[in-house]
Structure 1
Amino acid sequence: MTDTITPTERAIRAERDKQRAYGYTPANDLDHPPGTLAVAAAISALAANPARGTGPTPRWPFWRGGPKASFRLNLERAAAFIWAELERGDADAAHLNLYTDAHGHHVIATSAQDAARLYPDGAAIQEVPRDTWTAAQNAKVWDTAAARIPTPRTLL
């Protein structure tokens, strides 16, 4: 496997860099409700599909802009919007941690003290290092932040 960047990867990175140059930075992305950038990605991808026909395009979530005339450019833009939504979600989830008890139950919380509130019997809990989280655990923490679900929250 090589680390060669493909033309497609280069185009998506260029589109995301262009968004940032226009002021649509990760800090600006946090101003949008979760899912807004994903909606923009979906609309861009739908508009890109030449097989879609001439039906109505879903409502664009921003006050300006909209899908482009090019199939390829709409797909690149959709990918860049997905990238931005993922970065926005990562920033939302950065304040959350994953904790475990002696029985292997997991809790999402902002602090050990917060997590301990779910264990009235005083069970010992410890933080799970981020670099050891499974993909499923990372997704649950991310989804909790994106949905603005109150914490602490147990992982089922």
Structure 2
Amino acid sequence: MWGLDLLAGVALGLAGGSRGKTLFLALLGGVLVAAGGGIARDLIFGLPLYVLAHPAFVPVAAISAWAAYRLRLPFLPALLLDLAGTLYFAWGGAERGLAHGLSPEEAALAGTITAIGGGAIFTVITLFHRRENDPARANRLEYRDALGEALEEGATSP
């Protein structure tokens, strides 16, 4: 289980790191996206902090975020890594909640907090940070333009 947790931490560290315009924001994003939800879950439900029991998790997420920042990870691979890590942490957070005696409803909430909590925290922190030259934003706009053109062509096709 620890190996899969670490692999998901790498995936979310890469995804979070690709969202930062500066190195500081990339590191903050990688660590928050990978570990923030689990920390929030543990604090909300009074569980032992996972990151204290596994001290390698946060440095691995930070190194992954640094790599994503240096490599300028494109939007689509970052999105797929984010999806994979999020799905794994949703399951893992619920499983951890059940293992610590939470009810099924509480465990489902714990899984949700684990999966999306860190990304939500990072989004709120960077909400007002202007990212004019953000490569991920440029890629999203490029995909949106391509989708719009495809829809327009489909509407005029017989």
TM-score range, shorter chain: 0.3 to 0.5
TM-score (norm. length: structure 1): 0.32
> Which is richer in helix?
2
Q: Which has the higher contact order (CA 8 A, sep 6+)?
A: 2
Larger radius of gyration: 1
> Which is richer in strand?
1
